[in-house]
């Protein structure tokens, strides 16, 4: 015996009970389609309507290459029609560039070594004044403890 005012279960689905989609603000910089073996980054070309040639020059010498609209067709409306990077993707003074991932790994290793060398230099300078009668404490570990509360 079924209740006369009740709908069959197969009519009730989750799709009919979903919340309506809500408006969300657009992303400031859209995410490009990733190509295997490349890392992408938005590089500053200009700021406050003034070009920044030293920044873009440094990035190009580092190995970054501007991404053309043919490589990322979803950015066709964002193509730079004039200037030195014609046919490239530019938004608000930022140019989409790519670099081989192996270069990024080499770059990370270079800067990690540079940071470690600086830490070693500070340690050597600090420990140079060490005296065996009153040794200096030099430990590079830290711990975090949490109280039990009252």
Quick: pLDDT tens for 45-77: 888 888 888 988 999 999 999 988 888 888 887
In a domain, 83, yes or no: yes
In a domain, 50, yes or no: yes
- Structure pTM? 0.63
Residues of the domain holding 48: 38-99
Asked whether the predicted pLDDT for residue 1 surpasses 60, the reply is no
Least confident of 29-43, 47-61, 74-88, 111-125: 74-88
Instruction: Burial-class residue 56 by CB neighbours within 10 Å (0-12, 13-18, 19+).
Output: buried
d(CA 89, CA 95) in angstroms, rounded, equals 6
DSSP for 54-122, written as a single string:
HHHHHHHHHT-EEPBTTT-GGGGGGB--SSTTTTBBEETTEEEEEEEHHHHHHHHHHHHHHHHHHHHHH
Express each pLDDT in 120-136 by its tens digit: 888 877 777 777 766 66
Q: For position 46, what pLDDT does the model report?
A: 85
In a domain, 58, yes or no: yes
Q: For position 134, what pLDDT does the model report?
A: 65
In a domain, 24, yes or no: no
Asked whether the predicted pLDDT for residue 35 surpasses 60, the reply is yes
In a domain, 115, yes or no: no
In a domain, 78, yes or no: yes
Number of domains in the chain: 1
Polymer length in residues for the chain: 150
In a domain, 125, yes or no: no
In a domain, 23, yes or no: no
Residue with the larger pLDDT of the pair 15 and 4? 4
Q: For position 116, what pLDDT does the model report?
A: 92
């Amino acid at each position: 015996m079924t209740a006369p005012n009740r709908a069959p279960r197969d009519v009730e689905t989750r799709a009919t009970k979903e919340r309506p989609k809500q408006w969300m603000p657009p992303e400031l910089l859209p995410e490009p389609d990733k190509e295997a073996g490349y890392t992408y980054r938005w590089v500053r070309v200009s700021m406050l309507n003034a070009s920044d040639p030293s920044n873009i020059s440094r990035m190009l010498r580092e190995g970054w290459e501007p991404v053309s609209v043919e490589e990322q067709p979803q950015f066709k409306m964002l193509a730079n029609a004039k200037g030195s990077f014609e046919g490239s993707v530019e938004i608000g003074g930022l140019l989409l560039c790519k670099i081989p991932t192996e270069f990024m790994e080499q770059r990370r290793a270079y800067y990690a070594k540079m940071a470690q060398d600086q830490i070693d230099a500070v340690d050597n300078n600090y420990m140079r004044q060490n005296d065996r009668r009153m040794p200096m404490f030099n430990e590079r570990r830290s711990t975090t403890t949490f109280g039990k509360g009252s």
